[in-house]
Chains A and B, each alone.
Chain A
Amino acid sequence: GENVEQHPSTLSVQEGDSAVIKCTYSDSASNYFPWYKQELGKGPQLIIDIRSNVGEKKDQRIAVTLNKTAKHFSLHITETQPEDSAVYFCAASFYGGATNKLIFGTGTLLAVQP
């Protein structure tokens, strides 16, 4: 079945360093790849997304890259700040039943040390 693998499960960086989280997906028909940030006690919030017709997308300190051939995509956070500390989830779309659905990775706990 459809699957999304996410690595690493935990990541600790020093403030100002870069952080990279990687995901692979199984369904070659997936065409939408969002990234969510979840702070403690809150629901996931979309931070950036990319569609399969684009290889890279940036939004200030955050960027996402997509390699359709290899079926993997990555989140890059530059100049990390303590407020970036959270759990990050990747997801990939797949079509089944009545609509496109999302399959989520298992999450990465990012800790930014001041």
Chain B
Amino acid sequence: DAGITQSPRHKVTETGTPVTLRCHQTENHRYMYWYRQDPGHGLRLIHYSYGVKDTDKGEVSDGYSVSRSKTEDFLLTLESATSSQTSVYFCATQGADTQYFGPGTRLTVL
């Protein structure tokens, strides 16, 4: 699993509240990614990072922001959670071509 942890693993929150998900890696990989997984959609890229303080948008970035202040940590923030953001969120890191995934965070927005 390339030493990837995600926290929290489960979270229930209410519409309109801010939420931050954390991804931590121990592999010193330069590239990190946030995906969401929904039935019928597979894995869709939200944001990614190509270095400390270097981030870019993916295909479903609206309503999400990210930050990377050090190599090992990549944070995903939902500024004001909506029910459409109920999903399972996966972090991944990339070594060479290969992406390695964390265990996921199940987020429910009521």
Is there an interface contact between B1 and A43, defined as CB atoms closer than 8 Å? yes
Is there an interface contact between A98 and B50, defined as CB atoms closer than 8 Å? yes
CA distance A44 to B37 in the complex (A): 11
Is there an interface contact between A105 and B50, defined as CB atoms closer than 8 Å? no
Residue total for B at the interface (Cβ-Cβ under 8 A): 27
Is there an interface contact between B40 and A97, defined as CB atoms closer than 8 Å? no
Is there an interface contact between B103 and A43, defined as CB atoms closer than 8 Å? yes
A28 within 8 A of B: no
Is there an interface contact between B103 and A106, defined as CB atoms closer than 8 Å? no
Chain B residue nearest to A46 (CB atoms) is B98
The 8 Å CB contact of B100, one of A46, A98, A100, is: A46
Contact-size category for A: 20 to 34
Question: What would 20 A/B residue contacts be, using CB atoms closer than 8 Å?
Answer: A32-B97, A41-B104, A42-B104, A43-B4, A43-B101, A43-B103, A44-B90, A46-B98, A51-B97, A89-B42, A89-B43, A93-B97, A97-B48, A98-B54, A99-B31, A100-B97, A101-B48, A101-B58, A102-B99, A106-B40
Which positions in A face B, CB cutoff 8 Å?
Answer: 1, 6, 32, 34, 36, 41-46, 49, 51, 89, 93, 97-102, 104-107
Which positions in B face A, CB cutoff 8 Å?
Answer: 1, 4, 31, 33, 40-45, 48, 50, 54, 56-59, 90, 94, 97-104
